[in-house]
Structure 1
Amino acid sequence: MSTFSSVVESLTPENRKVIEDFGFGSLLHFDRCFVPNKFVKWVARHVNHRSADIVFNGKVISLTKESVHLVLGLPLSDKCFPSDPSLGKSILLSKFAKQKIPPVSFFSKKIIDHEVLSDEEVFMCFILVALHSFLCSNSSVTPSHKYFGIFEDIGNAKDLDWCGFVLDWLLDGIKSFNKGKHSDGGTLPVCLYYWAVLYLDHVDFGARHFPMSIPHISVWKGSMITDNAEFDSKSPGCYGYHPLLDISRTCFSKDLRFIANPTPLSFGDDFKRKLDAVSGCTLPENLKIDICNLIQNYCFNSGVSINLDVHSVNALPDSLKSCFCKLMTHAYSIDTRSQQLVLYLMKLIADSVATDDDNNDEYSSQDVNAASQHQNSPNDVTVKDADRVYRSLSQKYESTPPPQPRQSPQMKPLVESSNSDRSKCLKKSDNSEVDGDSSSDVIMIDIENRYAPDSISPSPVPGMRRFSIRQPCPDVEIIDERSLSDTVIHMTRRSDEIYNSILLKSGNNANTSAGSGSSTDHLNHQLSMPSQPYRISDSTTGGKLPIHGPRRFAKPASIFNADFVTSSNKFVVTKSEVENYNIICKLASSYEDAVNMFRVRCTFWSLGDSLKPGDLVKSFVVSAFCFSLFHKPNGHPDISKRHYFFSNIADNLLKDYNEADQQILYRAFTKSSKARPLHHSNMLFFPTRFQGHWFVIIVNIKDRKYVILDSFYKQNDEFQEIVRDRLRSSFEHHWDKYMQVNMGFGEYEFVYPVVPEQPLDNNTDSGIYTMMFIEHWTSPRSALRCLFTQKDIPNIRIKIANDLVFQPKNSGMKHRVTHYKKC
């Protein structure tokens, strides 16, 4: 949090104004408030991440989006962060002219050094530092790509559900922390400030009270957290000396409806459809957004802030309580009634336009001449003149009852909704003459231009429309005005022109390509561009869900689980294979390379010791085995759509983030993608050894599952509960860090297919089982239990030894086996 503190202190008044305008001014209240690490870890151990509650001494403190809002003042809404951060990432990179995301120090330095930045750049730098160092901290030096989607529409970033995002991030971090092997030494990648304030606000410190101001980030500053955590300490690292308060005595009992909310109201599609219905045409989306923002600026939540403790209302007499509730209900309904007001106003405007087109007094040539005289002097319309028009309109409608809502006609093009009546008027006037005394519904123009291509009747003066008033008002001329329908039509036509021009340009490019070659050649040229380095997998089903959804996992019938089922006897060995195996075992004292495939090496010592009957398999043998699968005829990832990782990758994934070898993990993820991008693959295999036991975890991208093949432990065993959560959390963390492709791994479920089982008294063959699982698991329909049993393990050891030594790609000293002098 020190980086965030430095950035907040370095902001100029102009920069602070920018942050406030973007809707995140509450974060500027943060004032170097140190949070003891031991204290927040103690609190974390009392969290039930499933129910999102802190449970201590029989009391419950709920972790909710509302509490995040009350503490940090972040926007609270129902609109989630964009699930695909790729567009936001591209915008961020282009804004700062970078090829890859720089470390967070790059963004903090720009503010601290007072570099010249645009308003958007100031906000981007500030919010990235705030997210990385304060709100959603992580152990990486670069910001997480998970929240880059906010930059898609940075001007409306405050419309997103920031409180929900921060809370989800916190719960994921707590889950990983509490599931870790070393909770005492692990890290908490969460908002520690919110965590500490939430707990301490519920602690009963007796006469020591804290202000109830909202947001609470304006209260807890400096050394307050450290001091009060020390007051609540029982012993070093142990807290909870004081009892917890009831929620009614905290600021978290406030009703959010009566607290100032800087975020816009949520206007659903229903309200936007009503806008189209009452206006008689389809309004542009940006106009609807402007209308919603206008309502927001004048609604109750934006103008009033009441620190209301709703529980104190119960102490009022029944008569006052009833009056108070009615008053609050009326005040809260202002938001809804504001929407109705806008709809009613739009209906009046639309009806007035339709009435004027059908029933208004005729345009006279005198009016036209007067309008043309004022065409170049719009300032001639005074306030007094405009007020006279307003009074005339008021007289027209004050005796007319409010119109009832009506269904707008079903019309395809937008222009037809406002021009159907004008077309009739235009046809009726085809043969009429226009002079100073004649009257007509329209002003005639040249014959060849009489019908505009888009069916819009021409205005009397180009770029101008006049409203006639029933009562004589010769002194008033309104210049350069459009009706609502005309404005909408103009905006729609403009957007259509832009869209068509883009299509025209792309069409010209396509024609140019077609002139020099076929369209296929042009496509191949595009696919060969450097921006798309991987071409083959883009046209395959790698990493994509099957057409009918994830495949079901095979469950063998009960007959295959019976005791009388014997091995299929598929693993028959020859006499020469047995002889070679015996020689390999005798050479186990040699440190010469038995296997050397492109620098993936395994000595006779490793191979012989691992494959002797009853011995544990070493990680070197499993790595060599995985690499041999890669070199089989159909083993290349571009064909098999499978990646086999060495066992040291899983070893590092099982470690804490700060202890794992990041160079090894970086190379594993990035170099594997050169053969085939990982996100375009179907399955990723991670052979894993933990506490001397081997199993394999498969990230089944095609079927959206985590598959665990374990010959000894079951799904509900404590061993698997600990290991799988640590592997999953670490894998997803490093995937986000190095791959930065959102694959939705958080939604994957764990699956434990039926596999051959080790006898309970056998604790040495798990490595052999694991290598068989890696080689023969090809899909959820794989029935491994029908492939081999424990009785086949001795022959499988012989097969593996022969296959590795005599692999065609092996450049190791296989002659030591073939020329061995038997004693």
Structure 2
Amino acid sequence: MSEAQRKLVSDAGFGGLLEIGSGRLPSALSKWLVKNVDGESEELVIPGRGKIKVNAAAVNRILGLPMGEDEVKYEFNGSAISFINEKCSFDNGRSPAITTITERLCANKEANDDYLRCWLMVAISTFLCGSTALCISPKCYPSLVDLSKVKELNWCKFVVDTLKGSVGKMHKKDSVLGCLYFLSILYLDSLEVGNIQVPEKQPRVAAWNMKLINKVIKMDTNTNGTFGKLKLKKLAGSVTETSLFGDFQDIDNFISHRASAPMSSKKKRKLSEVVKKACIGFTEVIGTFISEVSTISDDSEDQEEPRRSTRRRTTKNHQQNVDDEDEEIEEDEEEEDWKEDEDEDEEDEEADKEAELEDKEVDKEVELEDKSVSDEDDATNIVDPPLEVVPSQSKRERLR
């Protein structure tokens, strides 16, 4: 890029982007920051530390982009697409690849409209509204038709709106659309970095090279790999503390009033630091809990009712099966009782038959005995009065 071309970009209001050095930010930090963005309040909420304003003023301070009166048109527009395709000699119906436009920029040695228009296409598609797409998005064409009015557009608000929309759809997609570089520099520039010297340059992106970025990220990394170890500094009201226990100054006052005996300033300061760490830790735990709960979709509550109704149907079916089994058991028991009664009746009939046979045998024996006695009397010619045969009766009784 020649000096004339750099001046062309700067005059359009995008000179701050030329201050960005080479290198890539850790993706882990970007993902962590996106999860902590509150789109409704336009704030970056750091658990236990505070809130950082993510608004158009913050974008202007960090990137130095134009913050004009008119809105950036990022949409499909037939006339704009036809104009750009004809002006840049693009194939109709096809979006040019980003690599094709970058090659075109390198080949163009002039500081003309074609260079500025192509440069803005790449800046929007890869940085301001970055995505995983490999082609230029035709949505950016409407804002690039009249290059003289580019500076009058509110590109700062455009960056914020894109991030807010991306955060709202983050649970549906793995990729994040938006200027994550701005979000990272905004966060790093809001940290208390101790004795590390951060240059006082404007826009703020010019003060952060990759060496400084990596150093501060390392300082802000907790032992478990998460971020948020460093405290936030107050930047003209852009940062607000969000502790469950109020402002940390209140903790110092609380210790002074609750101490049972006078303490030295050194001891009070040490005690205050311990209490603050405890408050921060507890606030982080509660903040993490709230963040996790807030990500639960409302649809899960609507799905509970069908589960309960299914459970009730399952229980009802189970109860019906149990009732059917009970009926089968009762029928089996009744059948067994009937068989037992039938068997008992058969046994009684057999017993009656045996008793009847025994009676017949006894009667035969009695008749034979009576006959034998009668024969003996006839043989001796003794005439005796008829006797009652008692023994035969007793024998019958004995036999019975």
TM-score of the pair, normalised by structure 1:
0.29
1:717, distance to aligned residue in structure 2 (A): 3.2
Question: What's 1:718 paired with?
Answer: 300
Runs ≥4 in structure 1, deviation > 4 angstroms? 757-760
Structure 1 pair 180–132 and aligned structure 2 pair: CA distance change class (3 A): same
Question: What's 1:197 paired with?
Answer: 185
Q: Distance in 1 between matches of 2:42 and 2:143?
A: 25
Code of the aligned partner of 2:85: L
Code of the aligned partner of 1:66: A
Q: Distance in 1 between matches of 2:302 and 2:223?
A: 34
Structure 1 pair 237–171 and aligned structure 2 pair: CA distance change class (3 A): farther
1:127, distance to aligned residue in structure 2 (A): 0.9
Structure 1 pair 128–758 and aligned structure 2 pair: CA distance change class (3 A): same
Question: What's 2:57 paired with?
Answer: 66
Where do residues 510-521 of structure 1 align in structure 2 (5 Å cutoff)? Answer: none
Give 3-state SS (helix, strand or coil) of 1:247's partner. Answer: coil
Q: Between Structure 1 and Structure 2, which shows a larger proportion of helix residues?
A: 2
Deviations 1:683-730 (A, max 9, x none): xxxxxxxxxxxxxxxxxxxxxxxxxxxxxxxx9433679xxxxxxxxx
Question: What's 1:101 paired with?
Answer: 95
Q: Distance in 2 between matches of 1:119 and 1:239?
A: 44
Q: Distance in 1 between matches of 2:59 and 2:84?
A: 27
Q: Distance in 1 between matches of 2:120 and 2:234?
A: 34
Deviations 1:56-88 (A, max 9, x none): 214110101011001111000221023663333
1:155 maps to 2:148: yes
Code of the aligned partner of 1:127: L
Question: What's 1:170 paired with?
Answer: 163
Deviations 1:188-221 (A, max 9, x none): 2221211111111111111224233221121112
1:761 maps to 2:343: no
Where do residues 207-286 of structure 1 align in structure 2 (5 Å cutoff)? Answer: 207-235=195-223, 237-248=225-236
Question: What's 2:70 paired with?
Answer: 79
Q: Distance in 1 between matches of 2:82 and 2:203?
A: 34
Q: Distance in 1 between matches of 2:117 and 2:162?
A: 20
**Whose relative contact order is higher, 1 or 2, with alpha carbons under 8 Å and at least 6 apart?**
2
Structure 1 pair 60–133 and aligned structure 2 pair: CA distance change class (3 A): same
1:14 maps to 2:14: no
Q: Distance in 2 between matches of 1:171 and 1:192?
A: 12
Deviations 1:243-285 (A, max 9, x none): 11122398x99xxxxxxxxxxxxxxxxxxxxxxxxxxxxxxxx
Deviations 1:575-614 (A, max 9, x none): xxxxxxxxxxxxxxxxxxxxxxxxxxxxxxxxxxxxxxxx
1:120 pairs with 110, 113, 120, which one? 113
1:36 maps to 2:30: no
Question: What's 1:187 paired with?
Answer: 175
Code of the aligned partner of 1:105: T
Question: What's 2:353 paired with?
Answer: none
Question: What's 2:41 paired with?
Answer: 51
1:30, distance to aligned residue in structure 2 (A): 1.4
Q: Given that residues 104 and 141 in structure 1 are in contact (C-alpha distance below 8 angstroms), is that contact kept between their aligned partners in structure 2?
A: yes
Code of the aligned partner of 1:91: F
Q: Distance in 1 between matches of 2:100 and 2:50?
A: 44
Question: What's 1:134 paired with?
Answer: 127
Q: Given that residues 66 and 154 in structure 2 are in contact (C-alpha distance below 8 angstroms), is that contact kept between their aligned partners in structure 1?
A: yes
Where do residues 624-773 of structure 1 align in structure 2 (5 Å cutoff)? Answer: 716-718=298-300, 760-762=308-310
Question: What's 1:90 paired with?
Answer: 82
Question: Could you say which structure has the larger radius of gyration?
Answer: 2
Question: What's 2:14 paired with?
Answer: 24
Code of the aligned partner of 2:81: K
Give 3-state SS (helix, strand or coil) of 1:240's partner. Answer: coil
Where do residues 418-457 of structure 1 align in structure 2 (5 Å cutoff)? Answer: none
Give 3-state SS (helix, strand or coil) of 1:223's partner. Answer: helix
Over the residues paired in the alignment, what is the CA RMSD in angstroms?
Answer: 2.8
Q: Distance in 1 between matches of 2:23 and 2:193?
A: 20
Code of the aligned partner of 1:88: A
Structure 1 pair 758–81 and aligned structure 2 pair: CA distance change class (3 A): same
Deviations 1:475-513 (A, max 9, x none): xxxxxxxxxxxxxxxxxxxxxxxxxxxxxxxxxxxxxxx
Q: Given that residues 75 and 161 in structure 1 are in contact (C-alpha distance below 8 angstroms), is that contact kept between their aligned partners in structure 2?
A: yes
Q: Given that residues 86 and 148 in structure 1 are in contact (C-alpha distance below 8 angstroms), is that contact kept between their aligned partners in structure 2?
A: no
Code of the aligned partner of 1:102: P
Report the number of matched residues.
251
Structure 2 unaligned segments of length 5 or more: list them: 241-296, 312-400
Q: Distance in 2 between matches of 1:80 and 1:162?
A: 8
Q: Distance in 2 between matches of 1:163 and 1:111?
A: 25
Structure 1 pair 759–34 and aligned structure 2 pair: CA distance change class (3 A): closer
Q: Given that residues 8 and 111 in structure 2 are in contact (C-alpha distance below 8 angstroms), is that contact kept between their aligned partners in structure 1?
A: no
Question: What's 1:766 paired with?
Answer: none
Code of the aligned partner of 2:45: V
Q: Distance in 1 between matches of 2:115 and 2:307?
A: 64
Q: Distance in 2 between matches of 1:218 and 1:131?
A: 19
Give 3-state SS (helix, strand or coil) of 1:248's partner. Answer: coil
Q: Distance in 1 between matches of 2:196 and 2:13?
A: 33
Query: Percent identity between the aligned chains?
Result: 24
Q: Given that residues 196 and 225 in structure 1 are in contact (C-alpha distance below 8 angstroms), is that contact kept between their aligned partners in structure 2?
A: no
Q: Distance in 2 between matches of 1:759 and 1:174?
A: 30
Q: Distance in 1 between matches of 2:184 and 2:306?
A: 48
Question: What's 2:137 paired with?
Answer: 144
Where do residues 528-543 of structure 1 align in structure 2 (5 Å cutoff)? Answer: none
1:96, distance to aligned residue in structure 2 (A): 1.9
